[in-house]
Every structure is written in C-alpha cells, then in structure tokens.
Amino acid sequence: MDIVTWCENGYRNRFFKHFSHRNGIYVIDEQWDNLLILDACRYDTFKELNTIKGKLETRISRGSETTEFLLENFARHPTRENFADVVYIAGNPLVSSLVRDRFHKIYPVWDYGWDDQLGTVPPGNVANEALEARTKYPDKRMIVHFMQPHFPALTGRYENETGISGLRRIVKDDLDPVKIAQTSTLDVSVAALLKRGDLDRNNVLSAYQENLKMVLSYVAKLVEKLPGRTSITSDHGETFGERPEALYPFRVFGHPNRLHVKPLVIVPWFIIEGQSPPKVNRPKEDNANAYVYTDEEDAKIKDRLRKLGYD
C-alpha cells in the first residue's frame, strides 16, 4: 500500500465518515411493482442520456458499491428478514452470493446468461428473463438488476481488463467475495487501469456513456411491456478520478466501498406508471412496517438534495 492510499484510508475511516451522506433509503419500502437497477449508474449521466418518458427524482443509496447496497437493503433491513413478495432477476453475481435466501426466487442470469467474449451479462439476456418472470409470477414484485453501465464496456474490452469474470468464478465456487476482496483484488477493473494512467479518461467516459445508452435501449423496450409502476434506479454511482467533494481532497476512481460521496450515493429514481397494475401479493407486514415520511422529514430530504446541488 502506497503512502497516498494509506493517508486516504485513514482520512476516510477516521474523519470523513462523520460528514458523509449516510442516510439512504431502503428500496423495498418505496412504492413500485417493478424495480430496474442499472449497476453503477450516475444520476447526472442518466439525466443527460435518458429518453424514456417518466418522472425523474433522486434518492440516496445505502451503499457506494454493490456489496454494501445489497447487505444494507436486504440483509440489514430494520423490520424484514425476507422478501417473499419479490422475484429478483440477477445480472450481478453478488445477489446470489450475499442475499440468496431472502427472495421468493432469484433468476441467476449472471450464470446462464453470461457472455465470455464480453466478460459480463448482456442486457438483452436480463430483459428477456424479466419478461418471463413477470408472466410466471404476476402476483410478485420484481427487481431486475442489469450489469450496465458498469464496466466492462459492451463496445469492447480494454487490454488487461478482466471484466467481472473473477467475481463470477468466486460466486460459482460458493466462496465469500467480501472476505476475498479484503485480501486480494477480484478483477483488474477499468477504474484500476484509469488510476494507474493506463487509460485515457475521455475514452473511458465515452465508453461508460455508450454502455448506459445501450442498456437504456433494452430498458425502454422492457418498460413498455411491464404492468404497474416501474422505477429505474441504481445501486450506486461511478467516479473517474475527480475530487467529489470539498471535504474529500483525494481523487476517486470507480466505486470504493463505504465512501458515501455525492457521485456514488446520489442515484436516479425514475418513475413510469404502467397501464394495468399487476396483482401484487404484498405481505401483511409491508403495511405495518413500511416507514411513512412526515411532511417535515420530506422537506428535510428535499432540502438536503438541494444543498447537494440537485433540483
């Protein structure tokens, strides 16, 4: 570990955590019939590139990367231990590893929908499974977790990049990705190559935007066929070497764990009202345990978002 990384870790763990955006939503408590998760999607990039008709809002995520997002939302929920009213279409391998027994059914598209050449799961495979699941389970809520715009790029792999092949292999072998990540690097990521100076930032930004455009093209077709209310969001955002906040003086690449800065935890929340809501079998405890914001709390949330620079 170099001296800069050592200083950054110390600053983040001892000082910055007291000022970071730690109060995020529990996605399961929001009102939706279909929740589409775009992995590593920044709010500002989504706002710029999305052409689907609907209402754009923001939310604060409970994680700055997928592991934290999944554990916070589904393993550490304050009132619920399982989500039997939910079918999860999983393009990300971590779903099957970290929260495998908490849903009515998980479709592990990360496994059988894998593309060796791309080193990831194409969005079309995830969308197709979502349509099948909606037909088979019309009385369930549905989460559809796409891998894009998370790298690797659908337009082509960078030299020396491994994609998420290592993570997929670890989950297939039923190992603990959290423990392994503490001792070694799962994959050679675009973020690591960018940080080392092996990649051009503008080129990486362009590839990220193309990844988002491509997954949105599949999402646009999918939402036309989904009944009920569909919300599009992200588990976390992405960074490309910027200094994200005045109180955080270090450059950030990718989406480090437990780094609750604006580009990583302020995520899109895009609402689309379908024509014919499905008959969703919600457990009784949903209504009893769902947290309802008061007008005062709602005003505080909106004020916080305005201070963070969002309308």
Domains delineated in the chain: 32-278 (3.40.720.10)
Q: How confident is the model at residue 55 (pLDDT cuts 50, 70, 90)?
A: very high
> Residue 303: is its pLDDT beyond 60?
no
Which is more confident, 142 or 274? Answer: 142
What pLDDT was estimated at residue 287?
Answer: 40
**Does 82 have pLDDT greater than 80?**
yes
Per residue in 113-129, pLDDT tens? Answer: 999 999 999 999 999 99
Residue 186: per-residue pLDDT: 79
What would the mean pLDDT of 182-199 be, rounded to a whole number? 88
Q: What is the pLDDT of residue 190?
A: 96
Q: What is the pLDDT of residue 288?
A: 39
Predicted confidence (pLDDT) per residue in 247-284, tens digit: 898 999 999 988 999 999 999 999 999 877 666 666 55
Average pLDDT over residues 46-68: 97
Residues 255 and 48: their CA atoms lie apart, in Å, by 20
Cα 168 to Cα 41, 111, 293: the distances in Å are 20, 7, 38
* Contact by Cβ (8 Å): 38, 232: yes
Phi-psi region of 26 (alpha: psi -120 to 50; beta: other; left: phi over 0): beta
What percentage of the chain reaches a pLDDT higher than 70?
A: 85
> Two tokens at 79?
């009132």
Q: Give me 50's structure tokens.
A: 């999305």
Q: With beta carbons less than 8 A apart as the criterion, state whether 89 and 284 touch.
A: no
Confidence of residue 295 (pLDDT cuts 50, 70, 90): low
